[in-house]
């Protein structure tokens, strides 16, 4: 999904906004969340802005979705114990605020007000 103006993630990818980048390849970038909800809270973001949410990504490019999950697993092993939560918010009422598909990798004890279910 293309928006009138670039998403914050597109601006991070373009290096217009700084981020604490922990992983990058040709199709994915990952960085630390600026408002972490757990001791480890990383965002794994496809570099394409074509998909607004995980359902669109799954339908449009399942291989890229599989790569997002693989990168999430790799980062959880690197930055934590390897145990993690992988969260995709889909829609504003579900907590999605940036409509550029992305996964939250959370590990360690959740903080108050975190994404606990």
User: Which strands make up the sheet holding 85-87, listed edge to edge?
Assistant: 21-24, 28-32, 40-46, 103-107, 85-87
Residue 96 CA from chain centroid, whole number: 11
Is residue 30 helix, strand or coil?
strand
Total count of residues recorded for the chain:
117
Which of these is catalytic: 41, 100, 102, 104?
102
At 90, phi and psi to the nearest 5? Answer: -125, 100
State yes or no: is 102 an active-site residue. Answer: yes
Contact 18, 27 (CB under 8 A): no
Query: Quick one: which of 100, 98, 96, 94 has its CA closest to 117?
Result: 94
Catalytic residues: 102
């Amino acid at each position: 999904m293309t928006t009138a103006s670039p998403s914050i993630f597109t601006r991070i990818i373009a290096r217009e906004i700084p981020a604490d980048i922990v992983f990058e390849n040709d199709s994915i970038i990952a960085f630390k969340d600026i408002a972490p909800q757990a001791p480890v809270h990383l965002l794994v973001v496809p570099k394409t802005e074509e998909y607004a949410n995980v359902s669109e990504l799954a339908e449009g490019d399942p291989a890229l979705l599989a790569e997002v999950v693989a990168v999430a697993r790799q980062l959880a092993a690197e930055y934590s114990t390897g145990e993690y939560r992988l969260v995709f918010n889909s829609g504003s009422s579900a907590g999605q605020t940036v409509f550029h598909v992305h996964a939250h990798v959370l590990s360690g004890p959740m903080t108050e007000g975190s994404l606990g279910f």
